[in-house]
Amino acid sequence: MLKIKSSAPAIPAQDIKRARQFYEQKLGLKPAEEQGDGGALYQTGETGFLVFQSTGKASGEHTQMAFEVEDVVGAVRDLKSNGVKLEEYDYPTFKTKDGIVDMPDGTKGAWFKDTEGNLIAINSRVPSAARRS
């Protein structure tokens, strides 16, 4: 079996400078490590992710990375104040209001795209014991 130490998403960027500006200026992240090709590794809590130079393009049709936050409403407010556009969804069992979805289990979530078209989620989770009560 694999002896995995950790794992992290690798997020493609066709324009690495533009992508890094988004993560650093719009989200307020600072690179923990810079790559030789201009890419950057960002530390987020106990995990992290890599933004790397790529000729590939994200489809933006599925979530490629998720950030867990304590307060989705506050995070959405911060994102909007930094000029980040939230995605809106309107499905029979899944509908956002002002960019936020309230799930039946008590969780909240929101989605936005970075400058490269990568779809990123933010969510807050309810501890499993609270969901059962």
pLDDT at 60: 85
pLDDT at 1: 85
**Averaged pLDDT, groups of 10, the chain, 133 residues long:** 87 97 97 95 94 90 93 96 96 91 88 96 74 49
Using only C-alpha atoms, the chain has a radius of gyration, in whole angstroms, of 16
pLDDT at 118: 96
pLDDT at 131: 47
How many whole angstroms separate alpha carbon 53 and alpha carbon 55? 7
pTM for this entry: 0.88
pLDDT at 128: 58
All structural domains of the chain: 10-132 (3.10.180.10)
pLDDT at 55: 92
